[in-house]
Amino acid sequence: MKYLLFFILLNVLFFSCNEDKEIHLVNEKISIKILKQDTLTSNTISLSYPFTNNYHLIKGVEYLIGSDNYLNLLEIINLHNKEDVTIDFNSESYLKESVILDDFYFHNMDSIFLLSVENNRIYLMDSQGRLNNTFNLNDASQNFQGENFFSISYESRRNIFLDKKNNYLYLRSVPPNDWHSEREFYKKPIISIYDIETDKFIKIIGEFPKHFSESKLYFPSDNQFSFIIDFENGFYYLSHRREHSIYKYDLFTDKLIKKISAKSTYLDDFDLIPRNVDVQKMVNSLTKDGTYTNFLHNPFKNQYYRIVTHNQELINPNSGKLNHPINNRPFSIIVFDENLEVIGESLFENVPFNYLNLAPHKDGILTFYKDENNEDINHFLVFDFE
């Protein structure tokens, strides 16, 4: 997947309410209501793959906060006063720590947790880029269980949750097995609980579906999953790539509470490949085969969204070129209520944004994309389902 690197320049942002080009959405079961379209002109922000994003409403002010994992940046965009703070971890002030940003969890302006897999550390910083604490996961994991180490998926981000009551971080973790070829990988726990105050891992929870470890065939991103934790009600959800159901577990006992049917109308059986490292087969599969990707919670509307990519031809019949695995790919969003009852599913085709750039918003979903003619122009779109 080719990614265009942008030069990071200091410039003045300005925000306008120009209408974007008309967005055509093809809907199934539920309709789409476009609530707002705006543009933000700047050559300092990236807002493109692999930009990981979150929306936050802080004291009535809206923020888009995201990380660019290629350029090693954290960006905080104030959508009200049009100010942008870009924290560049390649700059001299971070050379000593060698911060390589893989994921982040935004608690508030004074507490942003940064995950660096390469350094196997978590950094605590504020919105001005000041590093206030460092947690060494190497020491903590060795003292807890040597056969487990911390890792993260390049696509299924949002892998950090904070239990504010107990000061625990819930982190995605994987064993040292090869996830391509070793079925043993899929028999191990997948979420580690880290106590911030004692600097120790205290427990590992979660599991892959049993058929992941029983088959000699696999999907190239079986190791990726999404999870959502409800600390107040004591449960968590797991959504896996080639699993039609969503699994609900008790947060304290780790017992399965319920297997919830959450099948897309656009996915049936999954085309699997042999458990060996064949790069071409992997790339082909990721390009053409649909799967379940991110599973998101909208706390403002108390709804859940399951993002589904659809099957597509390896070669585009119109252009004769390889289809892109992300851009211009058809996808759908399954919308659930607070009890994970399906409200409906909507199909997105020929839209300018991709399925990774979606963030739960106070009014629905916020998405964004670069202008096709001018990469300094960033389009924002808020839509909801009705």
Q: Measuring CA to CA, which residue among 259, 265, 217, 214 is closest to residue 240?
A: 259
Residues 195, 182: Cα–Cα separation, whole Å: 30
Query: Kind of pairing, strands 61-68 and 73-78?
Result: antiparallel
Cis omega (within 30 of 0) for bond into 330: no
Question: What pLDDT was estimated at residue 27?
Answer: 56
Q: 185 is written with which tokens?
A: 């990988």
Query: Kind of pairing, strands 303-309 and 291-298?
Result: antiparallel
Please, which residues bridge with residue 142 across strands? none
Domains and CATH numbers, the chain: 14-385 (2.120.10.30)
Question: What pLDDT was estimated at residue 7?
Answer: 25
What SS3 state is found at 137?
Answer: helix
- Residue 10 neighbours by CB under 8 Å, 6+ apart: 44
Please give the chain's pLDDT, 386 residues, in tens: 333 322 222 232 233 333 344 555 555 578 889 999 999 888 888 887 667 889 999 999 999 999 888 889 999 999 988 888 899 999 988 877 788 888 899 999 999 999 887 778 899 999 999 999 999 887 776 656 545 555 544 445 678 899 999 999 998 887 778 888 889 989 988 898 999 999 888 888 999 999 999 989 999 989 889 999 999 999 999 999 999 999 999 999 999 999 999 999 999 999 999 998 888 999 999 999 999 999 999 999 999 999 999 999 999 888 888 988 888 899 999 999 999 999 999 999 999 999 999 999 999 999 999 998 998 999 999 999 98
Residues 320, 11: Cα–Cα separation, whole Å: 40
Residues 129, 37: Cα–Cα separation, whole Å: 30
Q: What distance lies between CA 75 and its chain's CA centroid?
A: 16
What SS3 state is found at 162?
Answer: strand
Cα-based distances in Å from 185 to 61, 223, 370: 43, 9, 38
Q: Measuring CA to CA, which residue among 364, 375, 269, 376 is closest to residue 25?
A: 364
Q: What distance lies between CA 142 and its chain's CA centroid?
A: 28
Question: What pLDDT was estimated at residue 25?
Answer: 59
Residues 286, 280: Cα–Cα separation, whole Å: 10
Residues 362, 54: Cα–Cα separation, whole Å: 12
Q: Measuring CA to CA, which residue among 167, 153, 307, 173 is closest to residue 231?
A: 167
